[in-house]
Amino acid sequence: MTEFPHEEDLIYLNHAGVGPWPRRTAQAVVNFADQNLRSGARHYPDWLAAEQRLRERFARLLNAPSSDDIALVKNTSEGLSLVAYGLDWQSGDEVIINKQEFPSNRIVWESLQERFGVRVRDIDLGTDSSPEERLLAAVNEHTRLLAVSSVQYGTGLRMNLERLGAACRERNVLFCVDAIQSLGALRFDAQRVHADFVIADGHKWMLAPEGLGVFYSRPESRDRLRLLQYGWHMVAAPGDYSRSDWSIAPTARRFESGSPNMLGIHALDASLSLFEELGMQQIEKAVLSNSQYLCELISDTPELELITNPASDRLAGIVTFRPCDHDPEPIYRQLMAAGVICAHRAGGIRFSPHFYNTKAQLKTALTAVKRYSR
């Protein structure tokens, strides 16, 4: 694909880590830098239009009711912290997480224990077909919030968010979703999954630079968060600098205290334009097709063991496996040196192909794994 003119020896299978930029994104950064070089902020109104356009793209990507529900944050950890430290905790309140979570979606909740007396319940998802039931079985009258990743970063397990969200809404438990491993790979509907909060960085499956992400908040839940930062950008009238009185913005912009990351905004806006042109339905179809193909190749290889659950309702963009008789780390290093860009996760090797990867690339990558596993 012309948007991804990778080096000839490169097979990029680490979109669950840091994704490469499309050509248009790199060009957007060049254009923005050139404009700054030649005319500074002369065209700042156009920059503000790009900022609003990005909010609207995110609203469509998440099926949010309005772009007013979208805040632009530095990263997933910042968005999670807005929730964790914005709520009015009482000693004895409980948060439910699980043992497969990435540190970002674990540390922030665990940090509440000593400071506020919040109990964090770290649930084992098990290996059966009902990890959601294990999480919901832990919910009780003390549970204030359930935090979960839409797709687990190590095993690639896709969670049934609709089941979790509906149960949380019914039990008056806040539902916080870390969507970094699905947004840009799979379709997402914040309303359908009854999410109170959704957070994701742009640098993985959305194929944009590090340093900018999205924080969606349902209006009723947003109003329950006290603010942690204040500044000129989070007020109701951010352009009226001479006002001595001010009020907090009624929209999600209240979480953005200061000047926006305009360089990141232009880049992420360019990346999301590609997703809108292709359509998330087609992108999801291609991602799942690649994951299924990898699972089939691995299952047909006796020297490899599949860690990822290959069931159609559990598969996302991550496929993790381990060599049966070898330490995976040296094989991972050999793959990286050979140009097969992947990750060492969950005791195995993690491949995370995107929509533009070809079946031929995946087959070549698995051939390399088998060669290094001898």
Q: Taking the alpha carbons of 336, 289, 99, 124 in that order, is the dihedral positive or negative?
A: negative
Domain ranges of the chain: 11-21+279-372, 26-277
Q: What is the pLDDT of residue 1?
A: 65
Helix (H), strand (E) at residue 145: strand 143-149
| Alpha helices, DSSP H, located in the chain | 23-39, 44-62, 76-84, 104-110, 112-116, 131-137, 161-170, 219-222, 262-278, 280-299, 328-337, 359-372
State how far the alpha carbon of 122 is from the alpha carbons of 153, 174, 196, 198, 309, in Å.
Answer: 16, 17, 21, 20, 21
Please give the angle made by the CA atoms of 147, 86 and 257, to the nearest 5 degrees. 115
User: Is the separation of the CB atoms in 255 and 234 below 8 Å?
Assistant: yes
Domain spanning 11-21+279-372: CATH 3.90.1150.10: yes
Which has the closest alpha carbon to 175: 261, 111, 83?
Answer: 83
Kind plus residue range of the DSSP H or E element containing 305: strand 304-306
Q: Which CATH number is 26-277 given?
A: 3.40.640.10
**Alpha helices of 144-189 — where are they, by DSSP H?**
161-170
Helix (H, G, I), strand (E, B) or coil at 267: helix
The pLDDT of residue 248 is: 95
In this prediction the pTM is 0.96
pLDDT tens for the 374 residues of the chain, in order? 699 999 999 999 999 999 999 999 999 999 999 999 999 999 999 999 999 999 999 999 999 999 999 999 999 999 999 999 999 999 999 999 999 999 999 999 999 999 999 999 999 998 877 999 999 999 999 999 999 999 999 999 999 999 999 999 999 999 999 999 999 999 999 999 999 999 999 999 999 999 999 999 999 999 999 999 999 999 999 988 988 899 999 999 999 999 999 999 999 999 999 999 999 999 999 999 999 999 999 999 999 999 999 999 999 999 999 999 889 999 999 999 999 999 999 999 999 999 999 999 999 999 999 999 87
Backbone angles phi, psi at 178, to 5 degrees: -90, 105
